[in-house]
């Protein structure tokens, strides 16, 4: 496994952040509203602090990299545009899922290089599952207790699914008529006789694609770069594509960090 030492460091960091999240998840917690009316909890903050502290000591190509986090300060684009490499993190993706206690939230750490996610870690704290990889690395799944990444499962796994059924991942919070129309058209294009939708929260939907449990994940709702970066790397490592709905490449570290519509397939 290339860059195994780095993946081990990132995996340990994600698990430590997940442990802090679960400690708060198991008790009572308050919910604040950020300026954009999205929810914020103590778990978001605790996870951010752990990851930011850990990554400050991680060297890549013998250099310490800047960090951009959903819960940190947002540097001006005039500064960011000079970043060739940086960490892009979402300390707790799926805060709504965290609040509703359905377990479908993740910790996300990505390394961005020249506008593209080179590698990523997605951690599912409730199930204690790690997904990690990137293009040129492959993608793997392992348990949180496998801190040295020795007992990993390479993804995707052949599931023997019925290929006459198009299986699509859909957002639990942002389903739209655009989604339904695209899935129906894709099923027709592939000659599928029926459609199955699996709904999930956070970047977990990408992980379903990486595992081979769904064929496609079209997204026509709002997302930010930190929502997708780590999981984007994970699906690419599993041999899938994550591209804009028009087929163009998704770019990161844009002046406006909102993503357009995208398709994982």
Which residue numbers belong to the known binding site for Mg(2+)? 70, 90, 92-93, 227
- Exposure class string for 87-116: b at 16+ Cβ within 10 A, else e: bbbbbbbbbbbbeeeeebbbbbbbbbbeeb
**Beta-bridge mates of residue 171:** 200
Q: How far apart are CA 204 and CA 207, in angstroms?
A: 5
Q: How far apart are CA 204 and CA 214, in angstroms?
A: 12
Alpha carbon distance, N-terminus to C-terminus of the chain? 25
Binding-site residues for substrate:
70, 92-95, 227
Q: How far apart are CA 118 and CA 133, in angstroms?
A: 9
Binding-site residues:
70, 90, 92-95, 227
Q: How far apart are CA 237 and CA 254, in angstroms?
A: 23
In this structure, the strands spanning 67-69 and 63-64 are unpaired
Which pairs with CB-CB distance under 8 Å and at least 24 residues apart come from 30-35?
31/99
Q: Are 235 and 135 in contact (CB under 8 A)?
A: no
Which residues does 240 contact at the CB level (< 8 Å), separation at least 6? 156, 209, 210, 264, 265
- Exposure class string for 41-71: b at 16+ Cβ within 10 A, else e: bbbbbbbbbbbbebbeebebeeeebebbbbb
Q: How far apart are CA 247 and CA 241, in angstroms?
A: 10
């Amino acid at each position: 496994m290339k860059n195994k030492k780095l993946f081990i460091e990132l995996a340990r960091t994600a698990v430590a952040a997940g442990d802090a999240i679960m400690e708060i998840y198991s008790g009572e917690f308050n919910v604040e509203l950020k300026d954009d009316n999205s929810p914020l909890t103590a778990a978001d903050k605790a996870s951010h602090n752990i990851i930011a502290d850990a990554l400050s000591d991680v060297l890549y190509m013998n250099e310490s990299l800047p960090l951009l986090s959903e819960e940190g300060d947002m540097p001006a684009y005039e500064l960011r545009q000079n970043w060739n490499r940086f960490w892009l993190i979402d300390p707790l993706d799926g805060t709504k899922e965290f609040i509703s206690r359905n377990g479908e939230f993740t910790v996300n750490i990505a390394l961005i290089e020249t506008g593209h996610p080179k590698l990523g870690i997605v951690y599912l704290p409730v199930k204690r599952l790690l997904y990690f990889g990137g293009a040129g690395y492959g993608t793997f799944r392992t348990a949180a207790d496998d801190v040295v990444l020795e007992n990993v499962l390479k993804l995707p796994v052949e599931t023997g699914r019925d290929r006459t059924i198009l299986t699509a991942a859909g957002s639990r919070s942002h389903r739209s008529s655009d989604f339904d129309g695209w899935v129906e058209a894709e099923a027709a294009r592939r000659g599928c006789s029926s459609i199955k939708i699996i709904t999930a929260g956070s970047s977990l939907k990408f992980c379903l694609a990486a595992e081979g449990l769904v064929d496609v994940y079209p997204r026509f709702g709002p997302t930010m770069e930190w929502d997708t970066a780590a999981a984007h790397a994970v699906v690419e490592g599993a041999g899938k594509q994550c591209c804009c709905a028009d087929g163009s490449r998704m770019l990161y570290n844009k002046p406006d960090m909102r993503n357009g519509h995208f398709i994982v397939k």
